[in-house]
Amino acid sequence: MSFPTAVDSAAQVRAGRASARQGVAECLDRIEATQASLNAYVTVCRAQALETASAIDADPQRASKPLAGVPFSVKDNIETLGVRTTFGSRTLESSVPDFESVAVTRLRNAGGVMVGKTTLPEFASSVLGSSPLTGITRNPWNTAMTPGGSSSGAAAAVAAGLAPVALTTDAGASTRLPAAVCGVLGLKPSIGLIPYEHFPDGFGNFIHMGLITRTVADMALALDIVSGEDPRDPLSVGIAPTQALAALAHPLTLTGQRITWRPFLGNTVLDDEVRALCEATLARLVAQGAQLAVREEAFENAGGTWRVLQQNNWAGRFTVPDEATALTMDPAFVAGVRAAQGLTAAELTKALYRRSAYFRTVQQWFDATDWVATPVITATGVAADARGDAPLIVNKKPAGEVRATWGPYLNLFNLTGHPALSVPAGFTANGLPVGLQLVGRLRSDTDLLRLARVIELSQPWGDRVPPPAGVN
């Protein structure tokens, strides 16, 4: 099988196939052809997907369904009715839910065809792309490199043309970082915009449902479908579905738009090439009328507060039942659970208070700016088999552990809930993608996509596809 010379968007899939079954079958064939080299999927739903596609072909209402026949993937920590949901862990290898996320149901009801569940590190606990259950997932641009995490398979799949829409989660980096590393779009929307109705802590949740796509139009289309309140998620109540796709028809005027560029946000080092690519992207916005302010002052790294809350979440939600089981699990995840078990109530309360303080700080930023821009990662070129405690090399020098220093710009906005989008900013000299993070006011998700569309038009990325090395 030859690798596709172009990767279709959801709109192209829908418009270009008279038969949904044919298009879905071709997508499934591409998944199977790349599984040995990329390992993007935990479970491939061939029989179910083909049956669904045939039903769409026979549906007299097909034309009214916005995703009719479009393949989509679901990260394997999002529950899917009748399809196993493993969280990347041997402890849940055979777990088959009898319910599913409302976001999955909404994609199905819109005519989308779920082709499978994508890989992730165990319990979505790492910025890297391997788990004890599924092994290593690889970056389609260079299979020696990681696609990032925790939405590892989702980003690799979208980049490689293995389904144009991926439903993901983002607890602290998990959608934006792999999207940047794989050269695609990754959205962490405003908290509650996409309901996370099965998350145990409905009120204190900082884990967002997210989306990965290749094009801004696909992102807008998917967001329109999955957004809007669900009464089981208190953070979503009162929130209407977006109308982002329609809004893209009205270009965002950049004249007078204020952008604040923060190349450092809890870190002190940044790769020169990454910075140059991000700043070149911002320069295109300035050329169209935007005003750019640069803020390089030190900012407290939010990782300490985030880590307390995330490890507490792991300890409450998941279990390490005994020492024998612990030996089959990711050691870093086990260590995180055990660290949480030693937390005091005062330490947890302090982290909750600190989260509120971060929110108020970021809210205040938007008194003086319309958008905040940061890099997504501090450097490129992390190996597919790297460990989280491996040194990250930035400008040819060790800069600390990968897990702490690769994406310091990201978890702050999980704590605050503001919408954040990773946008492709170009490729380094060695052919690896770089992403620019754009952050907006709470509930500005539609305008955030309109801003991304300006970038997409000025420096298109959709016609560049990974090399044939992704096919076995």
Percent of the chain whose pLDDT exceeds 70: 96
User: Quick one: average pLDDT of 10-23?
Assistant: 77
Helix axis angle, 345-365 to 303-317, nearest 10°: 130
pLDDT of residue 247: 98
DSSP 399: E
- The long-range contacts involving 394-398, CB below 8 angstroms and separated by at least 24 positions, are 394/269, 394/270, 394/271, 395/269, 395/271, 395/272, 397/269
Return the number of other C-beta atoms located less than 10 Å from residue 287's C-beta. 10
Q: What is the pLDDT of residues 330-339, one digit of tens each?
A: 999 999 999 9
Q: Are 158 and 182 in contact (CB under 8 A)?
A: yes
Report the 10 Å Cβ neighbour count for 315: 18
- Give the list of residues 6+ apart from residue 304 with CB closer than 8 angstroms, or none: none
pLDDT tier at 9, thresholds 50, 70, 90: confident
Among the listed residues 289, 317, 299, the one whose alpha carbon sits nearest the alpha carbon of residue 198? 317
Band of the pLDDT at 321, cuts 50, 70, 90?
A: confident
CB–CB of 103/167 below 8 Å? Answer: yes
Lowest mean pLDDT of 16-20, 192-196, 321-325, 391-395, name the range.
16-20
Q: For residue 14, what pLDDT is reported? A: 64
How far is 178 from 170, CA to CA, in rounded Å?
A: 10
Q: Residue 174 catalytic?
A: yes
Residue position matching structure tokens 């092994």:
135
Residue 230 tokens read as 């669900």
Residue 1 has pLDDT above 50, yes or no: no
Residue 154, number of CB atoms within 10 A of its CB: 39
Of 98, 100, 219, 97, nearest in space to 165 by CA: 219
Tell me what the mean pLDDT of segment 390-419 comes to: 97
CATH fold of the domain at 10-302+347-470: Amidase signature (AS) enzymes (3.90.1300)
Contact 334, 125 (CB under 8 A): no
CB atoms within 10 A of CB 38: 30
Q: How high is the pLDDT of residue 467? A: 85
Q: Helix, strand, or coil here: 158?
A: helix
pLDDT reported for residue 463: 86
| Per-residue pLDDT, 472 | 38
To the query of whether residue 150 is one of the catalytic residues in this protein, the response is yes
Is the overall model pTM greater than 0.85, yes or no? yes
208-230 pLDDT, tens digit each: 999 999 999 999 999 999 999 99
Q: Are strands 165-170 and 185-188 parallel, antiparallel or unpaired?
A: unpaired
The two three-digit tokens of residue 407, written as one number? 């994406």
pLDDT at 287: 98
Catalytic residue among 9, 73, 75, 152: 75
Domain boundaries, the chain: 10-302+347-470
- Residue identified by tokens 């779009």 is 185
Q: Of 174, 190, 236, 444, which one is the catalytic site residue?
A: 174
7 pLDDT band (50/70/90 cuts)?
low
Q: Are 73 and 154 a contacting pair, CB within 8 Å?
A: yes
As to burial, measured by CB atoms within 10 angstroms (0-12 exposed, 13-18 middle, 19+ buried), residue 359 is middle
* 30 vs 6: CA distance, rounded Å: 13
Length of the chain in terms of residues written: 472
Rounded Cα–Cα distance for residues 14 and 59 (Å): 14
Q: What share of the chain is helix, strand, coil (3-state, %, to 5)?
A: 40, 15, 45
On the question of pLDDT at 5 being above 90, the answer is no
Q: Which two tokens stand for residue 410?
A: 């990201």
Catalytic, out of 9, 73, 150, 236: 150
101 in active site: no
Query: Average pLDDT in the 110-124 region?
Result: 98
Q: What is the mean pLDDT of residues 23-39?
A: 96
Average pLDDT taken over every residue of the chain? 95
Helix 303-317 / helix 331-341 crossing angle, nearest 10 deg: 90
